[in-house]
Amino acid sequence: MEQFAERLKQYAALAVEVGVNVQPGQTLCIVSPVAAAEFTRHAARRAYELGVKYVHVEWSDEQITRARFELAPEEAFAEFPSWLAQGRVEMAEGGAAFLFVIADNPDLLTGIDSKRIAASTKAAQEALQPFRQFTQFNKVAWSIVAVPSQAWADKVFPGTVESERVDALWNAIFSATRVYEADPVANWRGHAETLQSKASRLNERKYRSLRYRAPGTDLTIGLPEGHLWVSAGSRNANGTAFIPNMPTEEVFTSPSRESVNGTVSSSKPLSYSGNLIDNFSLTFENGKIVDFSAEQGYDALKRLVETDEGSRYLGEVALVPHRSPISDMNLVFYNTLFDENAACHLAIGFSFPFCLEGGTALSKEELSERGLNQSLTHVDFMIGRADLDIDGVLADGSEEPVFRSGNWAF
C-alpha cells in the first residue's frame, strides 16, 4: 500500500511537471471525475509546491451523469452551462494550464436513447468551441491522463478476480506512462526526443500522400502542402513545453480534407459517448465518408459521422508502431487515450492548425483553403495491426516504405 501511494504521487507529479508543465504564478484547471479524487489531490498539491497561484477543479460523477440521461427532460439535452464554458475561456485567456483526468466507464450510457446522447454531445461541443480554440491552436498547455474506475477495470480485466482488477489496471497505467522507470520525468523527456526524431525524418521527406494496405484496408491519404508531422511534445503561446497525451507513442499530422480515398477497417474497439463501436469500416471518396458499417455500435458510429459536415472527413493521421510498451501488453483498454497509442490511428473531425506551416496564424477560412478540416468533433479510431504496410508517395510519384508489418521501416 505504501509503495502504491508513492507511485500515485509520482504519477500525479509527472502529469503536472511534464504533462502540463505548470509554471510559478500560473492557474491550473483540473477537470476530474470524483473517482479520481485521490490522484487529483496529489496533482493539486504538487502544483502548489511548484508555485502555481490557484488550482481550480471541475468535478464530475458518472452516476449523476447516468441519472441525468435516464431522467432529465428532453429539452435539457440541447443545453450546456454557458457559465462553465465561459469560465474555461477566461482561465485560458489568463494563461491557465488544463489537466483533464479521465476514468471512463466504456458502457456508461449503454441503453440510453441515442438521440439524447447526440443532442447532449453536440450542445457541449458547440458551447465549448471558443475554449477549444485555445487547445486546438496550442495557445495553452494541456494534457490528458487516466485513472482507473471499477467499471473500467471490470471491462479490461474480466478474467481477473474482481477485487484485483483496479490494481491490475493501475499496474497497466503505470507501465504505459513509464512511472516504473527509475526517473520517470527524465525518461519521458528522452522518449519525447525519440518521437521527435521520427517526426523530423517525415518532415524531411515531405510525402505527397500515404498508402495503407492490410486485410480490410486499402486507403490512400493525401497530405496538404506545408504539412508538419508533430510528436509527443508541443509548446504553448508562451513557448512552454507540454505533452498533451500521457501516454503517447504517436507521430501525427493533418491530412488533406478532400484527398482521402478507399476503405479502412478498425483494429480495436472505439469507446464513444458511453457506447462501444467495434469491427467497423469506413469508405471514403474524395475525402468524404460515403459508406460505413459496424458489427457493434452502428447507431453510435452513425451519430458520430453525422455530427456535422466536417465529421464526414478526417482531421488527423497518426503513425504508431505495433511494437510499443502499450501494444506489448496485449490489452484492449476500451479507452482511446491508451488504445490509440497502441496502434496507428486516424481521427474523424477537426484538423490541428499547428500541423501546417504557419497554421496557427491563419483564420478558419484560410485553413480550409489550405486543405484542413473543420468540425465540432475530433474522435480517434484505431487501424494499426501487425500486418499493416504503409508507403510514402513522394512529389515525383515514387514510393518508399514507411511502415512494414506494423512497425517503422526506418
pLDDT in tens, 166-220: 999 999 999 999 999 888 888 988 998 999 999 999 999 999 999 999 999 999 9
Structural contact between residues 208 and 395, judged by C-beta atoms closer than 8 angstroms: yes
Backbone angles phi, psi at 339, to 5 degrees: -65, -35
If we measure between CA atoms, which residue out of 33, 36, 55 comes closest to residue 44?
55
pLDDT in tens, 106-162: 999 999 999 999 999 999 999 999 999 999 999 999 999 999 999 999 999 999 999
| pLDDT of 343 over the 90 cut | yes
391 Cβ partners below 8 Å, 6+ apart?
210, 211, 213, 399, 400, 401, 402
Residue identified by cell 464530475 is 60
90 Cβ partners below 8 Å, 6+ apart?
none
Domain coordinates in residue numbering, the chain: 2-176, 206-229+250-408
35 Cβ partners below 8 Å, 6+ apart?
61, 62, 103, 147, 149
Judged by DSSP in three states, 270 sits in strand
Tell me: domain 2-176, CATH 3.30.460.80, correct?
no
| Average pLDDT of the residues in 248-266 | 97
Instruction: Considering only CA atoms, give the Rg of the chain.
Output: 20
The predicted structure's pLDDT at residue 316: 98
DSSP single-letter state for residue 140: S
| pLDDT of 282 over the 90 cut | yes
250 Cβ partners below 8 Å, 6+ apart?
195, 231, 232, 318, 319, 320, 340, 341, 345
Structural contact between residues 30 and 43, judged by C-beta atoms closer than 8 angstroms: yes
The predicted structure's pLDDT at residue 2: 73
Structural contact between residues 124 and 376, judged by C-beta atoms closer than 8 angstroms: no
Distance in angstroms (rounded) separating the CA atoms of residues 16 and 149:
21
The number of helices, as runs of H, and strands, as runs of E, in the chain is: 12, 19
| pLDDT of 294 over the 90 cut | yes
Q: β-pairing, 27-33 with 54-60?
A: parallel
Q: Is the peptide bond before 130 cis (omega within 30 degrees of 0)?
A: no
pLDDT in tens, 348-381: 999 999 999 999 999 999 999 999 999 999 999 9
| Average pLDDT of the residues in 396-402 | 97
pTM, rounded to two decimals: 0.88
**Average per-residue pLDDT for the chain:** 95
Q: β-pairing, 288-296 with 270-272?
A: unpaired
Within 13 Å of residue 308, how many CA atoms lie on the same side as its CB? 16
Distance in angstroms (rounded) separating the CA atoms of residues 246 and 66:
27
The predicted structure's pLDDT at residue 361: 93
- Angstrom CA distances, 268 to 1, 307, 336, stand at 33, 22, 10
pLDDT in tens, 350-359: 999 999 999 9
| Average pLDDT of the residues in 253-273 | 96
Structural contact between residues 156 and 268, judged by C-beta atoms closer than 8 angstroms: no
The predicted structure's pLDDT at residue 1: 67
Structural contact between residues 247 and 326, judged by C-beta atoms closer than 8 angstroms: yes
Distance in angstroms (rounded) separating the CA atoms of residues 18 and 315:
26
